[in-house]
Structure 1
Amino acid sequence: MNLGQKLRFYFLNFYPPYFGAGIRYKKIGKGFNHFRLSMKLHWWNRNLVGTHFGGSLYSMCDPFYMLMLIENLGDEYIVWDKAATIRFIAPGLGKVYADFEISPEEVERIRNEADEKRKLDAFFQTKVYDEKTGK
């Protein structure tokens, strides 16, 4: 990872939607195939019942698979974040975190399919975990 790449991702912490929600990246894998993010519960990112606001949780998860694919596929591929859904399973209390990971094999499969079909919709899932309960 060169200095420019490190700085670009360091500054994600100061991107207004992330900074305002208290979202911080904690780890970036060497090959840009893994991100770990966290978000502490603050008065400004909680909802009316005192748990994490769903919009902040959604923001936390939005661009990272797209960013990993942009970095791993290179400039000859156009990557768009077209759609996302969120399902709330349990209330987030305290600090929450999420891991986003794409294996090199998955990147290669996407590359090959995109080369063959010229267009591809890839689907990924991640979970946001509450630090206290692990749920």
Structure 2
Amino acid sequence: MNHRLAKLVFNLWPPFLGAGVKVRRISPDWKEVDVQLRLGLTNRNYVGVHFGGSLYSMTDPFYMLMLLKNLGKDYIVWDKAGSIDYLKPGRGVVCARFRIDDDLLQRVRDATAGGDKHLPALHVSVYDAEGAEVARINKTLYIRRKPPRSSRQATS
């Protein structure tokens, strides 16, 4: 799926649509994704600020997808663990900016070259309109290079 179609699909995906999550940009190379969340009736908590689950959900799938798109079909990429630290109440529009670079991709390739799993820890912050950090999300991914095709067929 190309980046333009993916952006449209994300913005129509019921969990994001219902929570008020909007994907603002996916770069053509899938190394940058910008997401925002407006405070509304469907994502505010009892005290009137962003519901923590919505803050986490706005960040959930992106690192996994960005790495899948950049590493290619020879890799297995899954979310293994995640956590969120709430730093201040989120009000109004909040955003998260995901970035990966060639250095990270090379580290993953090197770590998985022999078939070993790799568990990189990645982080993204959620910021309010004034640029203050509202939450910090920590993601651990599970990445492994798939065995060569001939090995997979031999075990089937």
Query: Shorter-chain TM-score: which interval?
Result: over 0.9
Matched residue SS, 2:81: coil
CA distance in 1, matches of 2:39, 2:12: 18
- What percentage of aligned pairs have identical amino acids? 42
Contact 1:93–1:132 (CA<8 Å) still a contact in 2?
Answer: no
Q: TM-score, normalised by structure 1?
A: 0.92
Q: Compare the two structures and name the one with the higher strand fraction.
A: 2
Contact 2:49–2:90 (CA<8 Å) still a contact in 1?
Answer: yes
CA distance in 2, matches of 1:123, 1:117: 19
Matched residue SS, 1:57: helix
Q: What does 1:81-100 correspond to in 2, within 5 Å?
A: 81-100=79-98
CA RMSD of aligned residues (A): 1.2
Contact 1:18–1:24 (CA<8 Å) still a contact in 2?
Answer: yes
Q: Give the AA of the match of 2:107.
A: R
CA distance in 2, matches of 1:116, 1:26: 37
CA deviation after TM superposition for structure 1 residue 132, in Å: 3.4
Residue of structure 2 in register with 1:59 after alignment: 57
Q: Give the AA of the match of 1:101.
A: R
Contact 2:7–2:25 (CA<8 Å) still a contact in 1?
Answer: no
Between the two proteins, the alignment pairs up a number of residues equal to 132
Q: Which runs of 4+ in 1 moved over 6 A?
A: none
Residue of structure 2 in register with 1:20 after alignment: 18
CA distance in 1, matches of 2:86, 2:6: 31
Q: What does 1:26-41 correspond to in 2, within 5 Å?
A: 26-41=24-39
Shift of the 75–133 alpha-carbon distance from structure 1 to 2, 3 Å rule, reads closer
Q: Give the AA of the match of 1:74.
A: G
Q: Give the AA of the match of 1:49.
A: V
Q: What does 1:105-124 correspond to in 2, within 5 Å?
A: 105-124=103-122
CA distance in 2, matches of 1:104, 1:29: 14
CA distance in 1, matches of 2:130, 2:41: 18
Q: Which runs of 5+ in 1 are unaligned?
A: none
Matched residue SS, 1:7: helix
CA distance in 2, matches of 1:64, 1:129: 17
Q: Compare the two structures and name the one with the higher helix fraction.
A: 1
Q: Which runs of 5+ in 2 are unaligned?
A: 134-156
1:102 aligns with 2:100: yes
Contact 2:45–2:51 (CA<8 Å) still a contact in 1?
Answer: yes
CA deviation after TM superposition for structure 1 residue 117, in Å: 4.8
